[in-house]
Amino acid sequence: MAAKIRADGARAAATKAIREADRAEADAWSIRMEGQGGPAQPSPTIAQCLNGGLGWLEVKCNRCDTKASLPLDAIRRPRDTPLWKLEASLKCRSCRRGRTAPPVHMIKLTETREITPYKWVHPDEEER
């Protein structure tokens, strides 16, 4: 009985230590990207960011400077994918022209959405 209690306590402590390590690695990458603009490699995985409590990725378009916050849990990639591998597949929707869309630059990781989505305005209301 006592061994089971000790094992449960050790398991809880190990889970907490892993969560803190994941958070520290994600924070270090986020500070490096925001402060110095890179390099994006090495980067934490999607699972490490989510485990560390950082569930949003802030990106900025290279052409029109539009910023967006993307939820990491909605990205359809394996959880062991490093964040730097996402950069090539992320494209700006605001300034897309036909089939060409400029790439985006990853800025930082956040716990919550910091950039509000576009407010939709009906075209008739825009003219008034």
pLDDT tens readout for residues 74-116: 888 898 999 888 888 888 877 777 778 788 888 888 888 877 6
Quick count: other Cβ atoms within 10 Å of Cβ 111? 11
Provide the pLDDT for residue 64.
84
The C-alpha atoms of residue 59 and residue 8 are separated, in whole angstroms, by: 40
The C-alpha atoms of residue 61 and residue 64 are separated, in whole angstroms, by: 6
Q: Which amino acid is at 69?
A: S
pTM: 0.75
- Cis preceding-peptide flag for 39 (omega within 30 of 0): yes
Phi, psi of 56 (to 5 degrees): -125, 140
In the chain, domain spans: 2-116
